[in-house]
Amino acid sequence: MYLQALKEPIIYADKTNKEIYRFTWLRTFHNPIAIRIEKDGSNYKLYWSVCDGKGGYDPGKLVVAKSRNLNKQNWDNFLKKVSIAGFWTMRTDKDFFATDGSQWILEGKVNTKYNVVEGWSPSASTGFYKCCDYLITLIDLKIKPDDKY
């Protein structure tokens, strides 16, 4: 429902040679956000979209859909964080449940390999948080520190 509202593609079904990662951020009382970073050959691109609803409720309508080119250093910095976090061997903890907070979902697709990791209001000290937070720093949305939960 959220990815459809955010006009995001289904990454695991992608048949191209692109390397793709996407962070979907669903904060209970804030707008849903998706940030996608892609490498296509020697081209690097960042996409982000925002809906006007709430992450814990209805996604609402798409109000922001932007993109920009990145440089290789941006891409390499992100991949370093992915590696340090151990993203490709991480699994989602299926036993979490909370009513307030935020759902952090990081997906990755390289060739035919796909992984998705989901966390609930992760600690800022974790590699998972740092991967997602790096993507937040690359977009033009101003997120207050207290709103990063």
Question: What CATH number has the domain bearing residue 18?
Answer: 3.30.1560
Write out pLDDT tens, residues 11-64. Answer: 999 999 999 999 999 999 999 999 999 999 999 999 999 999 998 789 999 999
The answer to whether the beta carbons of residues 55 and 102 sit under 8 Å apart is yes
Cα 2 to chain centroid, rounded: 12
Domain tally for the chain?
Answer: 1
> Under DSSP, is residue 102 helix (H, G, I), strand (E, B) or coil?
strand
Q: What is the pLDDT of residue 96?
A: 59
Interatomic CA distance for residues 149 and 60, integer angstroms: 20
Domain that holds residue 23: 2-147
Q: Per-residue pLDDT averaged across 109-115, rounded?
A: 96
Does the pLDDT of residue 136 top 70, yes or no?
yes
**What pLDDT is stored for residue 1 in this prediction?**
84
Report the Cα–Cα distance between both ends of the chain, in Å, rounded: 22
pLDDT, average across residues 122-136: 97
- Residue 123's Cβ-count burial label (10 Å; 0-12, 13-18, 19+) is exposed
Q: Which two tokens stand for residue 147?
A: 């709103």
Is the model's pLDDT at 67 over the cut of 90? yes
- The per-residue pLDDT of the chain, averaged, comes to 94
Predicted local distance difference test score (pLDDT) of residue 100: 82
Neighbours of 117 (CB within 10 A): 22
